[in-house]
Amino acid sequence: MPSRSNPVSASLDIEGLLIDALESVDEGFVFFDADDRLVLCNDRYRALYPHIAPLCVPGTPYRALLEADAADKHAAGLIDDPEAWIQERLEQHLAPQRLIEQRQSNGHWVQISEHLTVDGGSAGIHHDITEMKAREEQLERYSHMLRDTLENISQGLAGYDRDHRMTLWNERYVELIDLPPHFRIAGTPLLDIIRFCADRGDYGPGDPETLARISYQHLTNPRGHSYERRTTRGRMLEIRVVPIRDGGLVATFTDITERKQAEEALRQSEERYALAAAGANDGLWDWDLEANHIFYSSRWKQMLGHADPEIGDGPEEWFSRIHPYDVQQVTAQLDAHLAGALSHFESEHRMLHEDGTYHWMLTRGQAV
């Protein structure tokens, strides 16, 4: 007659296969019965918790393992109140709802996932996430570094993803375009911000929607875009948009109000200077010592019988026309003034006229 298989032997074979399977996984595995006593765990679990490994034998109460773990963490300064920590872990263990991350005394991090079984027991998967935490910490450091950098530059800056939704910005950007709080949220569409600015009158008179669409097309130009515009508060902004590789864009906003004011003041000064030069009976000259160029007014050239185009802007136009007997004197007087020995430059010398004669000239100047 055929022999019947031994149920006990079959059960032992299945248990052996289960243990072999558990030992082959990378995660630590632990199982507790309905009385919260250890049934089995694999070697990976013991390796994750070397300080409680001697207690990892069948029948050990779950609380005993917690007490040993709490004592180790308390000694390492990871927890302040061992009993409070034990109570919290017991609550999490009896009603598992989420993943738990714990730092160990050896510096490693373990992620714990626990599940209740139908017979009242519990199974736990313990995974070493030390490398993942290291990457997270590095990413966090980089994020803080980026944030500190953004908040310490004088320009406003905003970044948008390929869908033109805002991903990063600094407070200077918010300040320069006077952006309300409800727009300062990651994911805010660029078009919404532009429409707000158009409705406020930032882009001048006209239909706000049309102006917004035009501005949006410029800002999302794949070749980039730069322009200047005045805000409703009277500030002048220089805006530069640079596309980035993933299809997004970065926009910088620079307050150039003072620069524009200085340029306007310089323009007005140059106009006044030109009017003064045109109306003066004396010839005027202005020597840029660094560039070694001299501006000669039209009257200066006329006094020597020349039209504007006939004399350039080099020093030789002046010194080549000084009478040979006067060159050394003029040079000495000029050098003395530039060296600080004389408060100003003043010289009487002869200059060659276009008709071939020499005319006496009085020349004055002061270095600034």
- Return the axis-axis angle of helices 208-219 and 190-200, rounded to nearest 10°: 140
DSSP letters of 178-245?
T--GGG-STT-BHHHHHHHHHHHTTT-SS-HHHHHHHHHHHHT-TT-EEEEEE-TTS-EEEEEEEE-T
Q: Which amino acid is at 256?
A: I
Instruction: Mark the ranges of the chain whose per-residue pLDDT is less than 50.
Output: 1-3, 8, 10-12
**pLDDT score at 120:** 93
Structure tokens at 126: 């313990």
Tokens of 143: 């994020």
> Given this structure, which CATH class describes domain 281-365?
alpha beta
Residues 6 or more apart in contact with residue 75 via CB below 8 angstroms: 105
CA 269 to chain centre: 39
Q: What CATH code is assigned to 153-255?
A: 3.30.450.20
Task: Indicate the DSSP class of residue 322.
Answer: B
Q: DSSP readout, 257-301?
A: HHHHHHHHHHHHHHHHHHHHHHH-SS--EEEETTTTEEEE-HHHH
Q: Which amino acid is at 354?
A: E
39 vs 116: CA distance, rounded Å: 14
Among 187, 208, 188, 190, residue whose Cα is nearest residue 198:
208
Question: In CATH terms, are 7-133 and 153-255 the same topology?
Answer: yes
User: Cα separation of 205 and 104, whole Å?
Assistant: 64
Domain boundaries, given as residue ranges, for the chain:
7-133, 153-255, 281-365
- The answer to whether 350 touches 327, Cβ cutoff 8 Å, is no
Structure-token pair, residue 114: 């626990």
Residues 75 and 85: beta-carbon distance below 8 Å:
no
pLDDT for 176 equals 93
Helix (H, G, I), strand (E, B) or coil at 125: strand
Rounded CA gap, 173 and 150, in Å?
Answer: 10
Q: 118 is written with which tokens?
A: 């139908």
Maximum CA pair distance of the chain?
146
**Per-residue model confidence (pLDDT) at position 21:** 63
CB 237 within 8 A of CB 254: yes
Q: What is the pLDDT of residue 327?
A: 94
Q: For the structural domain made of 7-133, what CATH number should be given?
A: 3.30.450.20
- The string of DSSP letters for 147-171 reads HHHHHTSSSEEEEE-TT-BEEEE-H
HSE, CB side, 13 Å, CA atoms: give it for residue 339. 7
Query: Which pLDDT tens digit goes with each residue over 332-360?
Result: 999 999 999 999 999 999 999 999 999 99
Neighbouring C-beta atoms of residue 130, cutoff 10 Å: 15
Query: Distance between CA atoms of 115 and 100, rounded to whole angstroms?
Result: 12
Q: Output the CA–CA distances (angstroms, integers) from residue 116 to 1, 35, 89, 122, in the order listed.
A: 45, 12, 15, 4
Distance CA 272, CA 274 (A): 5
Opening angle at CA 268, ends 262 and 270, nearest 5: 100
Report the pLDDT value the prediction gives residue 283, as an integer from 0 to 100: 87
Tokens of residue 314, six digits: 């080099």
